Amino acid sequence: MEPITDPRQPISLDHALASFTERWSPRIVTTVNDYDVRVAKVEGEHLWHAHDHTDEFFLVLDGELHIALREPAGERTVVLPRGSVFTVPRGIAHKPYARVPTEILVLEPSGTLTVGDRHDEVPAHVDATTGHALS
C-alpha cells in the first residue's frame, strides 16, 4: 500500500488518525529536521519509562491524557485536556494513561523508542517501536 503522505503536500491529521486503529502504536506523519512528528491513539495505561537523552513533547488532539511523573520532589500527575501541551523533561520517569479514547501528537528525535531507555516490563498492548510509517 502506498504511503498516504507526500512531503510536498499538506498532511491531514484526521486522515492520518483514521488510517489505523491500534492503541499505543504511533504513526510518523512527518519529520522536522531530526525529529519525528507522531500521532497515536491511546487508552488505558502505557508503562513507566524514561528517555535519558531527550525531552518528550505531547499535544492532546482529542480526549484527555494523564501523565504520572516521578520527579525529584516526588510523584505527581498532570492532566492534559484537548488542546493542551506538555513536555516531559529528559530523564524523568513518566507513565501516560487515558481513561477515555484519546488522540495525541508526540514530537521526539527520530529513532526514539516509545518505551524509552529505561522502562518497566512492556505489556502486550503497548507497541515498543520507533514509530510506524503511515499507510
Residue 68's CATH number? 2.60.120.10
List the pLDDT tens digit at each of the 135 positions of the chain: 344 566 788 999 999 999 999 999 999 999 999 999 999 999 999 999 999 999 999 999 999 999 999 999 999 999 999 999 999 999 999 999 999 999 999 999 999 999 999 998 999 999 999 999 987
For residue 1, what pLDDT is reported?
37
CA distance readout (Å), 128 to 4, 19, 109: 23, 19, 15
Residue in the structure block whose three cell numbers are 486503529: 21
Whether 44 is covered by a domain: the verdict is: yes
Angle at 83 between CA 104 and CA 18, to 5 degrees: 40
Nearest to 34 by CA among 12, 53, 48, 15: 53
For residue 107, what pLDDT is reported?
97
Number of folded domains that form the chain? 1
Whether 6 is covered by a domain: the verdict is: no
Whether 5 is covered by a domain: the verdict is: no
Whether 133 is covered by a domain: the verdict is: no
Whether 134 is covered by a domain: the verdict is: no
pTM for the whole thing? 0.93
For residue 37, what pLDDT is reported?
97
Domain range spanning residue 54? Answer: 13-121
Whether 114 is covered by a domain: the verdict is: yes
Contact 17, 37 (CB under 8 A): no
